[in-house]
Amino acid sequence: MLLSICHKTELGYSEPISESVMELRVMPRNDARQTLRSFELDISPEAGLFQYGDWQGNLAHCFSVLEPHDRLVIVASSTVETHTRKLRVQDLPDTLPLSGIGHRLEDMLLPHEAVLRDPRLVQFAEQTGIAAERRLSTVLGVVTTRLGELVTYAKGVTSTRSSVSDVLDRGKGVCQDYAHVAIALLRMLGIPARYVSGYLYRSEFTELETHAWVDAFVPSVGWLGIDPTHGELAGDGHVAVAVGRSYADVPPNRGVYKGTALEQMHVSVRIQKASEPLEAPAPPPLGLAARFFRNRLQRERRVDLRTLEQQQQQQQQQ
């Protein structure tokens, strides 16, 4: 499926500010499950861009705006071709405990930020039978389809800082919370799991929101996407932007600014099917991004990442 995506972030300030510094993760990944055909990033006021690949292979962009401004607009436009993966969970041959898990996956087995172990997850695993289950396919099926017994979908109840325990206390949350609970449960059972930030295309909607789901590591097939919010495997409507240990690794934007102004943020995402596939295959992400910014770099400033303060300016994923 070929999808056209426009992700617009508008930041407004109650009075002029200066020295905005931002880090973005809005460029879709380029991997076996999807091909990035085009990408363009526009910043207003115009700003210099610095790009780098992080430790999980996500491409991040950084910029700074030094002159006074009371509005900042970020528009990320991309075209992505997703590839349907014909796979039935029930056919997976893997059994628990998993074997052949190398040291590179250890980070995806440990607690991180909001992803914490909670006694109620132990109780859920015992009640559903997955605590003693040896078939990985059965465990993944339960985690994908039955988290609704712990969490009801509701907006405005949690925040980007809500931990798994906070979510279970409230019994409500959004896709970010479903993903964190699923990750905590899988890691508790010895299954490496990572957070996926991205988009979900639904044919009945044009105006959409960012989305989050989970990659579980399955030795026989590699990373397998599951969407516990919708109770399904990640399919060709899922477009991955970044992966990490939890949301804290991959917010779409975070940054700082100098001033006392109050900030308001509005985010909109439009996704639609593109008319026809493009012929040329996409180059690697770093080269692709460089192509779009090559003509700008002569007049742009590069941001020194050593001066980038890591204070999040967070956005709720729905």
Residues 78 and 38 in one domain: yes
Residue 295 pLDDT greater than 70, yes or no: no
Cα–chain center distance at 9: 16
Task: List Cβ neighbours of 247 (8 Å cut-off, separation of 6 or more).
Answer: 113, 114, 160, 176, 179, 180, 195, 197, 212, 317
In a domain, 173, yes or no: yes
How many structural domains are present in the chain? 2
pLDDT of the residue at 181: 98
Residues 122 and 215 in one domain: yes
Residues 237 and 294 in one domain: no
In a domain, 176, yes or no: yes
pLDDT of the residue at 5: 96
H-only helix segments in the chain: 119-128, 136-145, 164-170, 175-188, 285-293
Higher confidence at residue 177 or residue 312? 177
In a domain, 47, yes or no: yes
Residues 103 and 234 in one domain: yes
102 confidence band (pLDDT: 50, 70, 90): confident
In a domain, 63, yes or no: yes
Domain range enclosing 302: 2-83+250-307
In a domain, 312, yes or no: no
In a domain, 318, yes or no: no
Residues 101 and 231 in one domain: yes
In a domain, 317, yes or no: no
Length of the chain: 318
Residue 272 maps to which CATH number?
2.60.40.2250
CA-to-CA distance for 117 and 111, rounded, in angstroms?
7
Residues 214 and 107 in one domain: yes
Residues 144 and 196 in one domain: yes
B/e letters for 273-293, b = 16+ CB within 10 Å, e = fewer, are ebeeeeeeebeebeebbeeeb
Residues 79 and 104 in one domain: no
Residue whose tokens read 């796979």: 87
pLDDT of the residue at 18: 86
Task: List Cβ neighbours of 106 (8 Å cut-off, separation of 6 or more).
Answer: none
pLDDT digits (tens, 9 = 90+) for 132-171: 999 999 999 999 999 999 999 999 999 989 999 999 999 9
Of 289, 303, 261, the C-alpha closest to 77 is 289
Residue 294 pLDDT greater than 50, yes or no: no
Residues 73 and 220 in one domain: no
Of 246, 251, 265, the C-alpha closest to 312 is 251
Residues 117 and 239 in one domain: yes
pLDDT digits (tens, 9 = 90+) for 221-255: 999 999 999 999 999 999 999 999 999 999 999 99
Neighbouring C-beta atoms of residue 197, cutoff 10 Å: 25
- Quick one: which H or E segment has residue 97? none
Of 191, 223, 245, the last residue of a domain is: 245
pLDDT digits (tens, 9 = 90+) for 187-232: 999 999 999 999 999 887 756 779 999 999 999 999 999 999 999 9
pLDDT of the residue at 103: 86
pLDDT digits (tens, 9 = 90+) for 6-62: 999 999 999 999 889 999 999 999 999 999 999 999 999 999 899 999 999 999 999
Residues 76 and 102 in one domain: no
Of 245, 260, 287, the last residue of a domain is: 245
Residue 216 maps to which CATH number?
3.10.620.30
276 confidence band (pLDDT: 50, 70, 90): low
Residue whose tokens read 């426009």: 6
Of 245, 274, 290, the last residue of a domain is: 245
Rama region for 156: left / alpha / beta (φ>0; ψ in -120 to 50; rest): left
86 confidence band (pLDDT: 50, 70, 90): confident
Residue 120 pLDDT greater than 80, yes or no: yes
Residues 108 and 241 in one domain: yes
CA-to-CA distance for 83 and 213, rounded, in angstroms?
17
Compute the mean pLDDT over every residue in the chain, rounded to the nearest whole number.
Answer: 86
In a domain, 223, yes or no: yes
pLDDT of the residue at 304: 31
pLDDT (mean) for 78-93: 91
pLDDT of the residue at 206: 59
306 confidence band (pLDDT: 50, 70, 90): very low
pLDDT of the residue at 299: 30
pLDDT of the residue at 308: 30
